[in-house]
Structure 1
Amino acid sequence: MSCCSPALDLAENEGRVLGADLRGEELKHAGRLGADGTVTYVFSVPAIHCGACIAAVEDALGPLPGVVSARVNLTLRRLTVVLAPESAPSGTTPLRLVETLERLGYPATPVDLGDLDQLARERESGKLLLALGIAGFAAANVMLLSVSVWSGADEATRDLFHLISALIAVPAVAISGQVFFRSAFVALRAGRLNMDVPISLALLLSLGLSLYESLSGGAEAYFDAAVTLTFFLLVGRYLDQLMRERARSAVLGIARLAAKGATRIVDGEPVLVPIDEVEAGMHLRVPAGERMPVDARVLAGASDLDRSLVTGESEPVAAGPGLRIEAGVLNLTGPLDVEALSGAKDSFLAEMTAMMEAAEQGRGAYVRIADRMARLYAPAVHLLAAAAFLGWLVATGGDWYQAVTVAIAVLIVTCPCALGLAVPVVHVIGASRLFQAGILMKDGSALERLAEIDTVLFDKTGTLTTGTPRLARTDFLSDQESAAARALAARSHHPASRAIRAGLEAVAEPDLEAVREVAGSGVEAMIAGRRARLGRPGWVAEIAAPEGRHVDGGLGDGIEDERPRGGKGHVAFAFEGAPTVSFSLDEAVRQGAAPALAALRDAVLSVEVLSGDGEAPVGRLAGMLDIERAACRQSPADKIARIRTLQAEGHQVLMVGDGLNDAPSLAAGNVSMAPASACDAGRLAADFVFTRENLAAVPFAFDVAKRAKALVRTNFALAILYNAVAVPLAMAGLVTPLVAAIAMSASSILVVANSLRLTRGGHTVRSADVEDQTAALAPGAVKAPRTERLEIAA
């Protein structure tokens, strides 16, 4: 009876059929033609999992005739190959690329077959989790039996426990170890080595010798070493798999915003066309509630737009004829007729996706210390074991048992368990420590990168501030005006209307007649025979008297400007023929922002603000929080440019943001953080997500990262010291496989115990006399000191 579901079996069968059919001419359709005549092919290669895999693939494809470049993205497990124009006559075709990869042991599919590829990745994760569970169960039981043997069991009991251990360990390693066995087999078949080869050799030899000892009544068996090693290595492999799946989702999060089609107007009639057929100059219609399919210019209609994708600002923007709109922007309130300015592949959304992938590609160059040692480790271990075997074979006059025993001891004692745990265990404990403080870590290597930062870049809206519009004081509204404005605000779903209704005192609301919402302008109604409007100041002024009042805390400003000094937004209300009442909307500084930034400065970190908002609100925020450098009106490309400039100067950058427009810069930074209130793409692109409102999470995570870095270095020192002592003793025949297994386990326990120090000590983020975090960034706002103690016990 199969344990696989019918859906997965069907997907596997379909995958075989598609894999057989996608040959020759059909593969050519998966390419993308460039302006210079080159053709780019992107393949999903799920079998890639380490630096050695990257080198094998790139080294094999790079020399092929007509291949301009072959680049592997480890995070996305994606291969991008660029072929020169007319490369087919030279023999290099998409078919040859796929066949070359298959011979290397890396089956590849074009990314257009993403649905089946996603099923394959889900099956791979499921298999890893199942293997991990089996290895853990076996390790616990075999170690329990081994303790009894080590305690001095008599011969009959010892032999029985060895046989029981064999019944548990052999099938467990056979099933759980397939991850390593298959990888080692593929590498050997291709004539190369990877880190899985010595691991597989140690597992198989230790099992083989243990079976021989058990069946011949020997005193020693090493089943415990085999299953324990398998379990710990699978833990690291599974965590790495989870991290890469989440990182891959960041790119998919933006890609999901792309429209699948567009409504084209042909001879006055709407016709639905595929998004790939949209070209510049086409006349399109975008209904309310849909996203702009391509970059376009408005021809007719009026509406409000959610441009948070571009600016990060939640405030809707009025749209009218002549306005240029980027792909992916959400149309909120009314239909728009637009002229396409680009195709889907050249749109703003496609550019953001490309920036995300480029940033993830650059991050792939960051390789952990343990991974960088992989190429040296495999040949070194084999040479040591072979030298021990040959040396003892000669020294003992052909005693193969003794020679094999010493060689196995060398393989086991040099097993990379302690080395492999040096980083993952610290990351797991660090993730747990951060989780207790409401911080989610998606990538263990992010701790390493966070520990190296010297510059912190913050987005403004939704990060340093709450991002939610709020109404300031309303002392100068009459009861009649307050009731009418609140009633009109209730008839609109506009964020500004919701803020006004929430900010005005609840009173008995009048009856409304002839209510209508004008897209891009506001709400109008008849109240007791008088027309009243709430919305855009210019539109409201059409029915109002020339005089006006500005409600922002008691300052009597006029309404000449659509956005008078200060506020996040500006909304007006008036009865027909009566003076206009102008509301100023703004947002509050996020709780804990001031002490968090102070803690970062105390840690000798440079702090900057990059915001898509205007100069006035950004300047006020910088003044309130004592930030020396604040840049306004920053597009996603501008933010990435600033990050690249800092990186070129040798700085390590932490990017903290929340908006969809921040996703590319979150990916471009050396490390990134986002609040849980961030958009999906922002959360997926970030390495850390903090679930609590307090910005104290940022300095706290930095403190944990610094301590984790110190522990990782200590773990490496312990692992190197262990090998420096144990390897010579094993080669000298002074260490039996049993002692080697004990020593290997002891080194692993020592590394784990050292890593547990991360759960204790550390710094506490505290601040007394913190400014009132509920104060809005309104003109003339003053700091209202109050006593607040922010603590995250380390």
Structure 2
Amino acid sequence: MKDIQVQTYAVSGMTCSSCVNSIERALNEIDGVTASVNFASETVHIVRPADLSPDVVMKKIKSAGYSATLLKDSADPALHRKGAARALLFAIVLAVPSIAISMVMSWHQPINDWLIELFTNYSIALPPHADHLFASWLVLAITAPLIFIVAFPIHRAAIRNILHPTMDTLISLGSLSAYIWSIYATYTNQGDVYTEVAAGVLLFVILGRYLETRAKRSAGSALSTLLALGEKEVAVLRNGTEVLIPISHLVIGDEFVVKPGARIATDGVVISGQSTVDNSLITGESKPIEITPGMNVIGSALNNNGRIIVRATRIGSDTELARITAMVVTAQGTKAPIQALADKIASIFVPVVTVLAIGTFAGWYYLGDKSLTYSISTAITVLVIACPCALGLATPVALLVASGRGALRGIVIRHPRVLEASQSIDTVVLDKTGTLTDGAMKVQQASIPLSPQKVLGATFASILTEKNVLSSALALESQSDHPVSQAIATYCISRSAEQLPVTEFTQTPGVGVAGRVRIGDKSPVVIIGSPDSVAHSCVPFDSEIQQAIRDGQTHSHAVSVLAWDGVAIAVFAAGDVIKGDASATITELRNRNIDVWLLTGDNAEAAAKVGALVGINSDRIIASAKPEEKLAKISALQMVGKHVLMVGDGVNDAAALAQANLSIAMGTGTDTAIATADITIMRPQLMSIIDSLALSKRTLRTIKVNLGWAFTYNVIGLPIAAMGLMSPMYAAAAMAMSSLFVVTNSLRIK
């Protein structure tokens, strides 16, 4: 099986959804390539074999009549046409005088007299019918640069896509037809002149595209904000000295300084200093979070008020910000199922409109006994008023806005299918650890009685201090990746423990860790593990140690005992913490008539305790569930007609997440769970589940309004144009406003 790569390219030259079909058709001809074009962000999302050069993809796009560039990880895909403002400026300068001269009849004779005198004085031959049509020749001359230079990209695109007509085909046909007819009518002095129509059509089209570009830029601004968060340089510590280096040179394990007011360069763990950080632009968490040594921090979070030193744990594309950005870009490059109908209609829209325009001309001229001028004008109106752009923009712009703004609130939509799925959810299945609880083990209680020094002897009296006990624990637990070990190590760091040298280190799975730790002039053998395992290697525990063990076990905590040279001297009780809004979230789900289940691999006692605290009925709790049992439960609920939302965070939840109608992964969870889920929530609050459902419903509602408008506009507008009840210039304005309505309506998503 060949390796595959996923890449995003910026595409220029697209003007409507028909362009989308042309590019996708061309790219999908390449063996092994799957392409999805996003008209809103002007990008194409490519899944291709790893051995296929990007140049092949770009050449294929160019052969279809467009240009493309490969977007790097830090590039902004929310592109806009750089020439839109310049084109609009020239269109205004050329079109406004053309329209004004044509529409103000009282200007014609003075202009005619002035031009005749000017031409006569310079002995220049006068054009035909100059005595009363010189103003028309002037308007034709003014409009020519607009038609053939400013609007050249439109005509070029129309020619390139002659076999697969696009919106540019309609614009080009309409404006050129009006202009060429005006030349004929002026030269022969037969029929009405429509030069102002050609100028007006192009002016409104260019204005509409400029406004659409600005609106689409606003739609992608949330993602642009995320992309702009990354730091370019970082101050790392080299032999105690701060050295400023490019962020690309940072490696895992480097220690770097974050000053007040600066953004944290990359994900890491705080090793020195205290402060508060603002994660709002990454997780949506508005309340500043207090950080102390031992706590993890997210790259690009804003450090508020204290100087901290951070050890890098993730860099580059592995960071939290990079993961969020990648998921958002992927979502914006994927089509929602509801877009399928719009794409199908758009693919045949332009040819149908072209045939309709020809039929309109023939009907009025041959059957309606109308003049050639009237028939051409009506056909041009049909060409101009048609707007497949609104159909093409209805879904991708709404998804662009929702995914970008959702990401800023800590809600990352990965698969557009969630929009439809969110409407029918009636059952929510929750994992426990990492979902209803924080998922990170924390030391809830530590007991360090000093009485064991009586057993250890007077030689240990000078070193048996709380700091040394914690430092010895840190020395061992920092070398283990077990969740309880990490919790104890973090606790020790937060209490200013020092990293002491260790020799003869051993780790026994399910038992604990041991080693000889150098403390001052002593090197005791230090053991830390479960009470039963440590008891085998120690003298009997004294009463304080025994009481601390009983207290920890009563609260269902994971209890670890620390011993020096066979004497237990400390007890650590680590446990998970139920999220503060878990109960409120369960209540809100019930208020929405959603049935709530707890499905966990933890033991029945722990599951029952958590269920009781958050308000889940005992008959809706399944404990000690293996991954295949979780999958089976989701399937069983679906078989009885339930539409299931699964919320989890672990590898053991991945199969259930994939099976569910809709799935949400916690951002603190495993990469496997995040890669499987439809939505990832980066905020610690469980209430984000409610916000995710609400955002999905609002987005789908907006898409339906957009599509409804796009269909209705064309269904009503085309017959009006064909019946001759609208001028071409008004049709151009209506067409531009149709696309603009879809984009601005999408911007209302919050």
The normalised TM-score by structure 1 is 0.56
> Cα offset for 1:455?
3.1
Task: Name the counterpart of 2:575.
Answer: 586
> Cα offset for 1:396?
6.3
Q: Are residue 534 (structure 1) and residue 528 (structure 2) matched? A: yes
Q: Is the 8 A contact 1:236 1:420 kept in 2?
A: no
Aligned residue identity for 2:430: F
Task: Name the counterpart of 2:737.
Answer: 746
Partners in 1 of 2:669 and 2:33 — Cα distance? 30
**1:661-683 Cα shifts (integer Å, max 9, x gaps):** 55565555444444443455555
Out of 171, 175, 189, the residue aligned to residue 203 of structure 1 is: 171
**1:718-746 Cα shifts (integer Å, max 9, x gaps):** 33333333221111122232121112223
Q: 1:440 to 1:42 in 2, by over 3 A?
A: closer
Task: Name the counterpart of 1:469.
Answer: 441
Partners in 2 of 1:605 and 1:199 — Cα distance? 45
Q: Are residue 703 (structure 1) and residue 694 (structure 2) matched? A: yes
Task: Name the counterpart of 2:473.
Answer: 489
> Cα offset for 1:469?
1.4
Partners in 2 of 1:529 and 1:127 — Cα distance? 56
Q: 1:75 to 1:566 in 2, by over 3 A?
A: farther
Partners in 1 of 2:90 and 2:634 — Cα distance? 52
Partners in 1 of 2:623 and 2:383 — Cα distance? 59
Partners in 2 of 1:377 and 1:725 — Cα distance? 15
Out of 723, 735, 739, the residue aligned to residue 714 of structure 2 is: 723
Q: Is the 8 A contact 1:655 1:673 kept in 2?
A: yes
Task: Name the counterpart of 2:132.
Answer: none
What does residue range 272-287 of structure 1 map to in structure 2 within 5 Å?
none
Q: Are residue 133 (structure 1) and residue 82 (structure 2) matched? A: yes
Q: 1:413 to 1:675 in 2, by over 3 A?
A: same
> Cα offset for 1:417?
2.9
Q: Is the 8 A contact 2:663 2:677 kept in 1?
A: yes
Partners in 2 of 1:666 and 1:758 — Cα distance? 27
Q: Is the 8 A contact 2:706 2:745 kept in 1?
A: yes
RCO higher in structure (CA 8 A, sep ≥6): 2
Q: 1:680 to 1:532 in 2, by over 3 A?
A: closer
Aligned residue identity for 2:576: E
For structure 1, the residue ranges without an aligned partner over 5 or more in a row are: 1-29, 33-40, 62-69, 78-105, 244-288, 290-358, 559-563, 760-794
- Helix, strand or coil: the match of 1:518? strand
Aligned residue identity for 1:697: S
Task: Name the counterpart of 2:488.
Answer: 500
Q: Are residue 574 (structure 1) and residue 574 (structure 2) matched? A: no
Q: 1:618 to 1:208 in 2, by over 3 A?
A: farther
- Helix, strand or coil: the match of 2:82? helix
What does residue range 97-496 of structure 1 map to in structure 2 within 5 Å?
111-113=49-51, 116=54, 123=69, 132-135=81-84, 138-139=87-88, 142=91, 162-166=143-147, 169-173=150-154, 178=157, 184=161, 188=163, 197-209=165-177, 211-212=179-180, 218-220=195-197, 221=199, 222-227=201-206, 367-371=339-343, 373-374=345-346, 377=349, 380-395=352-367, 402-431=374-403, 433-435=405-407, 437-442=409-414, 446-475=418-447, 477-478=449-450, 480=464, 482-483=466-467, 485-492=469-476, 493=478, 494=480, 495-496=483-484
- Helix, strand or coil: the match of 2:391? helix
Q: Is the 8 A contact 2:634 2:656 kept in 1?
A: yes
- Helix, strand or coil: the match of 2:445? coil
Task: Name the counterpart of 1:518.
Answer: 506
Higher Cα radius of gyration: 2
Task: Name the counterpart of 2:127.
Answer: none
> Cα offset for 1:452?
4.0
Aligned residue identity for 1:123: T
> Cα offset for 1:534?
1.4
**1:555-593 Cα shifts (integer Å, max 9, x gaps):** 6269xxxxx676564432223443585533212223433
Partners in 1 of 2:56 and 2:575 — Cα distance? 43
Q: Is the 8 A contact 1:615 1:632 kept in 2?
A: yes
Structure 1 range deviating more: 117-126 or 636-645: 117-126
> Cα offset for 1:426?
3.5
Q: Is the 8 A contact 1:663 1:682 kept in 2?
A: yes
Aligned residue identity for 1:617: A
Q: 1:731 to 1:599 in 2, by over 3 A?
A: same
> Cα offset for 1:377?
4.1
Q: Is the 8 A contact 1:663 1:681 kept in 2?
A: yes
- Helix, strand or coil: the match of 1:595? helix
Q: 1:708 to 1:147 in 2, by over 3 A?
A: farther
Q: Is the 8 A contact 1:534 1:574 kept in 2?
A: yes
Partners in 1 of 2:37 and 2:557 — Cα distance? 39
- Helix, strand or coil: the match of 1:491? helix
**1:328-359 Cα shifts (integer Å, max 9, x gaps):** xxxxxxxxxxxxxxxxxxxxxxxxxxxxxxx9
Out of 645, 658, 668, the residue aligned to residue 677 of structure 1 is: 668
Q: Is the 8 A contact 1:472 1:551 kept in 2?
A: no
Instruction: Tell me the number of residue pairs that the alignment of Structure 1 and Structure 2 aligns.
Output: 553
Partners in 1 of 2:735 and 2:37 — Cα distance? 34
For structure 2, the residue ranges without an aligned partner over 5 or more in a row are: 12-16, 39-43, 62-67, 109-134, 187-192, 223-252, 254-330, 452-463
Q: 1:652 to 1:530 in 2, by over 3 A?
A: same
Partners in 2 of 1:595 and 1:206 — Cα distance? 60
Q: Is the 8 A contact 1:139 1:231 kept in 2?
A: yes
Partners in 1 of 2:653 and 2:492 — Cα distance? 33
